[in-house]
Amino acid sequence: MKITLDTPLELIQRLSPFQKKALAKMHLKSVGDILRHFPTRYGESGLIKAIEYLIPGENTVVFGKISKLKTGKTYRSKVAISTAEVEDSTGKIKIIWFSQPYIAKMFFDGMLVRIEGKVSQKRTKTSTEAEGELYFSNPKIEKVSEIPEGGSGFLFPAETDHNLTPVYPESRGISSNWIYHFMQKILGNEIMDSLTDPVPEEILKKYNLPSLKTALIWIHCPRKKENAEIARKRFAFEEIFFIQLDRQKEKFIAQREKSFAIIKNEKEIKEFTDSFPFPLTLAQQDSIASVLSDFKTGHPMSRLLEGDVGSGKTAVAATAAFAAVSTLPPERKYGNLQVAYMAPTEILAEQHFESFIEYFSKYKIPIGLITGSVAKKFPSKTLRLRSGQATWTKISKPQLLKWVANGEIPILIGTHSLIQKTVKFKNLSFIIIDEQHRFGVRQRMELRKKPARMNDVSRSGGHDIAPHLLSMTATPIPRTLALTIFGDLDLSLLDELPPGRQMPETKIVLPHEREETYEKVRTELKTGRQAFVICPRINDPDPDKENAINAKSVISETKRLQEKIFPEFKIGAITGKLKPSEKEAIMKEFSARGGSASGGKNKIDILVATSVVEVGVNVPNATVMIIENAERFGLAQLHQLRGRILRSSYKPYCFVFADLPRRSSGEGGSKTIARLKSFVNAKNGFELAEADLQQRGSGDLAGAKQWGVSDLAMEALKNIKMVEAARLEARLLVEKDLELKKYPLLARHLSSKSTVHME
Ligand code: ADP
Ligand code: MG
């Protein structure tokens, strides 16, 4: 049979339903998929050995028959243990597992198993070192249906020196070893000679990167470590290069589009910002200046404003919005230019609506709010505050949309509802997207395209006018990552917090310090402050599941805190499972100001939550945060969480509880400690983001999940030179040949992978 990249795996080799399921889980369906299923590392545990040849201290795989399975407890510390023996045709070896009593229940004497782990050696007082008995301690164990060819003997010579057996990501039912053997079949097939390389040859040459075929062979069965490394480099380059091409193309096209030129002089802008109750930080001034200079060009701005929580992005957004709405369109026929400001949640949209009312208080500029549940307009024609100040009113959606469509409402703030077909603008000139990381790359791209059609084109003379775009994010990301995934955007950083803000005191709390920590929290709460308690889970796991993750849950922690720790305070709970309206109600209660009106009492003193509070909710009175099971959160997420208590001039406290392995010997343990230490020490989000990137090991899937970038590319992002090279080549290519006519392979590859929907 002639196989192609599209050939399904089950046509290469018969697969059991179980194996098919496992492969599907890893997204491995075709030959092409599995060729790009790269090893995470080589050697060490990849080497299968006969038991006779085991050497203490080595990571090894043995196959054999298991027997003498028993459970028990260690003599002194009463830790549950399982013990067993495994035997192949050359010998036997003992195994011991600590704290994994279920192993003895999952396996039975006589089963064939694969054991992977480090060979240890018992030390006895009398014997010399060489004589101590060998055993495996806490190895991985897996049931197998057969002992692989040579697995119990001599086809895998113990003295081999090119110990570069690939170790693949596995899944239950498909072991690394299985993939290895499957891969050998494909690599030996003639398909390897008909592969076409999407990366232009001259680029590969320029950077000394191997061709696709060579790289595939080198990454799956390298002869030398350097081969594997250069192959990985090629694939990392390729991935970044493709992303860059995609973004550079976007950027290039956007630059050719037309936008309303918004030309404002410094004096006009200063008048607006002088009405703020605070002076702008230098970083805010710089960002505003960049926006204003982009605005002038007549081509759409595409700018990303990156700044820690509390760095004052809203003020920048408001100033930019002011510049737009105080500008008349060229024909002067249809009223002022319009601005759309989109937030990921209703709570945030409401908050921006209120902030904008304040920022624009001196100007009689109408502002609208539209979310899934409500439409509001400022100022109300009839309602006034007791102070005589203008305020907002609820209005019907059709009414609001009418005013937006005829240009009477120049600023519209909202959630996704903003981009529905029914929302039409007359002169939409500028779009602001808050917390843009929450929208995902695909959504972001769509958003950008859509609004060009949101103007009421028929009336504005039939021209498509692309709006300017300001994306904002409180997730500081490393420079290389920003250059890659946001390669189509220009970057402004707010790397400075407004003066007077106090850095939170962050402390890693040891288990025996829990009580005294609660006392400190009590002291803060007594002065009227509020606290967050963040737990990784919503509910407790099923206690019958032996593998269940032992982490604090919102439900039981709320109960425990209320009953046992803080009976005198009011405790609320919020999780991502609640309906948006329920979440909102709770957040409103939590943020209801205590103050004199309520006798200084808060409606909720402690809010127990999952990470749903992550996104920029503003509760200046909340100054304490407890994070439970901090080991389960990524650095960026921890930073976001801590940002919630940075809102006021009161001293904030962040207490970090983490479940650390008793001995920090394990790789996981020391990694966690390093991570938490940088969390305690980092001065700002940007520092933390760089630390995060440097600390990521391969196999850390956070990158893939969060940014849609593979682990391999994440590794490459540690290397600014590679990112810049990929960016440069992508730009040159796009400038030369936007449609990639001379690179049909590349064009096809891009369109199949593209994250952008062609409408
Ligand atoms: P974020 O960047 O997280 O969106 P916000 O725009 O919500 O931050 O601003 C956080 C708080 O800081 C707001 O209460 C705002 O009024 C205040 N603020 C913004 N800029 C300054 C500044 N230059 N000086 C003092 N306070 C400021
Ligand atoms: Mg914000």
| pLDDT per position as a tens digit, 165-211 | 788 888 888 888 889 889 988 998 999 999 999 999 999 999 999 99
Retrieve residue 259's tokens. Answer: 């936008």
Confidence of residue 85 (pLDDT cuts 50, 70, 90): very high
DSSP string spanning 177-240? HHHHHHHHHHHTSGGGGG---SS-HHHHHHTTPPPHHHHHHHHHS-SSHHHHHHHHHHHHHHHH
According to the model, what pLDDT value does residue 451 have? 55
Contact 264, 292 (CB under 8 A): yes
Is the peptide bond prior to 329 cis by the omega test (within 30 degrees of 0)? no
Residue 426 has pLDDT above 50, yes or no: yes
Does any ligand 1 atom lie closer than 6 A to the CB of residue 164? no
How many CB atoms within 10 Å of residue 221? 19
| Pairing of β 80-88 and β 91-98 | antiparallel
**C-beta atoms surrounding 608 within 10 Å:** 28
pLDDT above 70 for 705: no
Atom of ligand 1 nearest to the CA of 351: 7
The atom of ligand 1 lying closest to the CA of 313 is: 2
**Predicted local confidence at residue 332, as pLDDT:** 55
Crossing angle of helices 266-274 and 282-296, rounded to 10°? 140
Tokens of 556: 């039981």
Q: What is the DSSP string of 363-422?
A: S---EEEE-SS-EEEES-SS-B-TTS-B--EE--HHHHHHHHHTTS--EEEESGGGGSTT
Lookup: tokens for 132? 């101590």
Instruction: List, edge to edge, every strand of the sheet that includes 375-378.
Output: 393-394, 375-378, 367-370, 411-414, 338-342, 428-433, 468-473, 302-307, 490-494
Each residue's pLDDT tens digit, 266-286: 899 999 999 999 999 999 999
pLDDT value at position 757? 30
Q: Are 617 and 591 contacting, i.e. CB atoms less than 8 angstroms apart? A: yes
- Is 315 a pocket residue for ligand 1 (Cβ < 6 Å)? yes
Please indicate whether residue 566 or residue 613 has the higher confidence score (pLDDT): 566
Could you tell me the distance, in angstroms and rounded to a whole number, from the CA of residue 689 to the centre of ligand 1? 21
Q: Which residue has the tokens 């909710």?
A: 617
Check: CB of residue 436 under 8 Å from CB of residue 473. Answer: yes
Q: Which residues hold their Cβ within 5 A of ligand 2, which is an ion?
A: 616
Residue of 314, 351, 646 with the most ligand 1 atoms within 8 Å of its CB, for mutation:
314
Q: Where are the beta strands (DSSP E) in 563-717?
A: 571-574, 606-609, 622-627, 653-657
User: Which pLDDT band holds residue 75 (cuts at 50, 70, 90)?
Assistant: confident
Probe residue for ligand 1, chosen from 308, 311, 621 as the CB with the greatest number of ligand atoms within 8 Å: 311
Evaluate whether 36 touches 27 at the Cβ level (below 8 Å): no
Ligand 1 pocket check for 310: Cβ under 6 Å: yes
DSSP tally for the chain: helices H, then strands E: 24, 23
Is the CB of 558 inside a 6 Å radius of any atom of ligand 1?
A: no
> Is the CB of residue 148 less than 8 Å from the CB of residue 119?
no
Ligand with minimal distance to 318 CA: 1
